[in-house]
Structure 1
Amino acid sequence: MAKSRNIALIVAAFFSIYVIWGSTYFLNKVAVSELPPFMLASVRFTTAGGLIFVICRILGISLAITKRQLLNTTIAGFLFLTFGNGVVVWALKYVDSGFAALEISAQPLIVLLLMFFIQGKKIKPMSILGVVLGIIGIFLLVSQNALITREGSVMGMIMIFFCMLSWGYGSLFVSKADLPSNYFVNTGYQMVAGGLILLVSSIAFRETWTLPTSWSGSVQLSMMLLIFFGSIVAFTSFNYLLKAVSPEKVATSTYVNPVIALLLGWYFLDEEVTGQSIVAAVILLTGVYFINTKKTIMIFSRFTEKMGIDRP
């Protein structure tokens, strides 16, 4: 009976990291079509972080952290959520959700290169092949005339790249930072910190805030799904799977998320999926596969397990 329950939990958890994380690009695209990007991200993460704190109190989990941990979770919140996610939401005003998901799927490539340049880590031959394929895939993806000529698309692509750098550097930072040992508490503080900085950013850019009652039904639903499922359920599932199954199985979400995002964007938002995008996706994801050797996956899983967050 217990074994059947565990299998059911594992299946449900994989569904979460495959479908829910893959759908966050689509949900953000729907919401940002009506709401200012930094306001949207601020509401999402501040609310999700607050809910995590409430859950911790109900479960009797201590929220106490040191000053150093508070500083580190604030830095991580900025790198992952304020910049790494908030700017991606802004970029979704100008690029398709499926395109953004494909570009971000190159994140392991960025982390590997940062490890090489910042930490001096050697890149294994298989990973070098992955880097080459990844660069070719990215070039094919971003060099399409239909995308380049679209207003604001080039700036959107560039900003997504900087977001990937922010996530990559954040991964290196949290691997050595003093953070709360409980991943739920760690994530709660990161989300609240990132959300509050996004609030300041929203005010600085003079975004117009509106009450949820004035939002359309589709935006209200998208925000609810982003808060409860995209920020809490999928994250909890991710950390559960890191302990329940092998890391390389968890890493398969890297290949599934862009496919889900492309399908949702194509079906619901009429986003164009070109032949060149498909070729770029195959080459790029093949490169990511070669980068995700077993040892590399172990390194990435330790990063993400400690930072507590992995997707927009």
Structure 2
Amino acid sequence: MEKTPNKLLVVLAFFSIYVIWGSTYLLNKIAVSELAPFMLAAIRFIIAGILIFVLCKFLGISLSVTKKQLKNTIMAGFLFLTFGNGIVVWALKFVDSGFAALEISAQPLIVLILLRVLEGQKIKTMSLIGVGLGILGMYLLVSQNQIISDGDSIIGMGMIFLCLVSWAYGSIFVSKADLPANYFVNTGYQMISGGIMLMLASFALGESWSLPNTWSGEVQISMVLLILFGSIVAFTSFNYLLKVVSPEKVATSTYVNPIIAMSLGWYFLNEQITIQSSIAALVLLTGVYFINTKKKLILLARFKGRLRPKKVEI
């Protein structure tokens, strides 16, 4: 019989991808104000991957993987980190941190559409309501003139949209792929491979690299937080959740992240929050409620005289 996921771990993991990841938009915005975007992301993920491997060795966790698992982690590293995150960091040079987060809140809709196209999965009524509210909330936010008046933001918006498609497909891919069973090992290989690809992209684009002792104190602190919490803790939680709950449910983090990102951007960077933005935030959270309150369906099938629970849509 399959092991039932630990409820406390699931709750803590959702806290990580909701709150910790919501704060990474602020941290990346601070860091990219001084550092080249692909260099920034490459350093973050390579160091995080190395630290994870060191932790695994200390805990006696084997780092051995099959060729297929290695190939799949490289693919996931590209979808999530090299393209999915690297381009977002680059786009933060042109858009506010809160705006970037709330544009990515359209990801649950993309996940459902991809599941429908690729797997023929029916979109449930509650999911449609939740996604609809999420898109409405996003529209209320991005339709404000003070947000979209800057011409450079159009390019940033377009690139971020491609990133959320990459993340949506990556979420589906990882939920089905043969990956290392240990979540630290899985995360470590994705970090290292994604970071190396970002480093190569940085060199190809001719970005200037600098040593940490030349960075400002704010950037140094931001990088430490991004590596330890944004990368190791939150991304490991993300990979864990993709194996124990449905991709659509994991994607609801993109509804909560904008609320966290907007609040932190307002407090630390003086990014404006209007009444319309506040109303939109409430609509987004309502969308999260509708998606998360779908009833769990557990299918039982007989196998050699025993009932075995199978994971289905949650």
TM-score (norm 1): 0.83
CA contact (8 A) 1:133 1:284 kept: yes
Deviation for aligned residue 1:187 = 0.5
- CA change 1:142–1:15 in 2 (3 A) is closer
Question: Which whole-Å CA distance do the structure 1 matches of 2:205 and 2:87 have between them?
Answer: 13
Superposition RMSD on alpha carbons, in Å? 3.2
Question: Which whole-Å CA distance do the structure 2 matches of 1:14 and 1:288 have between them?
Answer: 12
Task: List runs of 5+ in structure 2 lacking aligned partners.
Answer: 1-5, 299-310
What is the aligned partner in structure 2 of residue 95 from structure 1?
A: 95
What is the aligned partner in structure 2 of residue 39 from structure 1?
A: 39
CA contact (8 A) 2:37 2:89 kept: yes
Identity level (%): 70
Question: Which whole-Å CA distance do the structure 2 matches of 1:8 and 1:171 have between them?
Answer: 22
2:164 counterpart of 1:164: yes
- CA change 1:203–1:296 in 2 (3 A) is farther
Deviations 1:274-302 (Å, cap 9, x if unpaired)? 2222233222332343233436899xxx8
What is the aligned partner in structure 1 of residue 307 from structure 2?
A: none
2:274 counterpart of 1:274: yes
Of 165-174 and 132-141, more deviation after overlay is shown by 132-141
Q: Match of 1:294, SS?
A: coil
Of 206-215 and 121-130, more deviation after overlay is shown by 121-130
Deviations 1:239-295 (Å, cap 9, x if unpaired)? 7889999x9998885554322211110011010112222233222332343233436
Question: Which whole-Å CA distance do the structure 1 matches of 2:211 and 2:296 have between them?
Answer: 44
Of 215-224 and 127-136, more deviation after overlay is shown by 127-136
- CA change 1:227–1:297 in 2 (3 A) is farther
Q: Match of 1:98, SS?
A: helix
| Equivalent residue letter for 1:129 | I
Question: Which whole-Å CA distance do the structure 1 matches of 2:239 and 2:128 have between them?
Answer: 29
- CA change 1:119–1:24 in 2 (3 A) is same
Deviation for aligned residue 1:27 = 0.4
The correspondence of residues 191-206 of structure 1 with structure 2, limited to 5 A, is 191-206=191-206
Deviation for aligned residue 1:45 = 0.4
- CA change 1:252–1:26 in 2 (3 A) is same
Question: Which whole-Å CA distance do the structure 2 matches of 1:13 and 1:117 have between them?
Answer: 29
Of 150-159 and 7-16, more deviation after overlay is shown by 7-16
The correspondence of residues 41-56 of structure 1 with structure 2, limited to 5 A, is 41-56=41-56
What is the aligned partner in structure 1 of residue 153 from structure 2?
A: 153
Q: Match of 2:200, SS?
A: helix
Question: Which whole-Å CA distance do the structure 2 matches of 1:204 and 1:154 have between them?
Answer: 25
Question: Which whole-Å CA distance do the structure 2 matches of 1:107 and 1:267 have between them?
Answer: 26
| Equivalent residue letter for 2:96 | D
Question: Which whole-Å CA distance do the structure 2 matches of 1:51 and 1:255 have between them?
Answer: 30
| Equivalent residue letter for 2:82 | T
- CA change 1:242–1:173 in 2 (3 A) is closer
- CA change 1:297–1:86 in 2 (3 A) is farther
Question: Which whole-Å CA distance do the structure 2 matches of 1:207 and 1:79 have between them?
Answer: 22
What is the aligned partner in structure 1 of residue 74 from structure 2?
A: 74
TM-score (norm 2): 0.83
- CA change 1:136–1:37 in 2 (3 A) is same
What is the aligned partner in structure 1 of residue 112 from structure 2?
A: 112
Higher helix share: 1
Equivalenced residue count is 294
| Equivalent residue letter for 2:158 | I
- CA change 1:156–1:66 in 2 (3 A) is same
The correspondence of residues 239-254 of structure 1 with structure 2, limited to 5 A, is none
Task: List runs of 5+ in structure 1 lacking aligned partners.
Answer: 1-5, 304-312
CA contact (8 A) 1:45 1:191 kept: yes
Which one has the largest radius of gyration?
Answer: 2
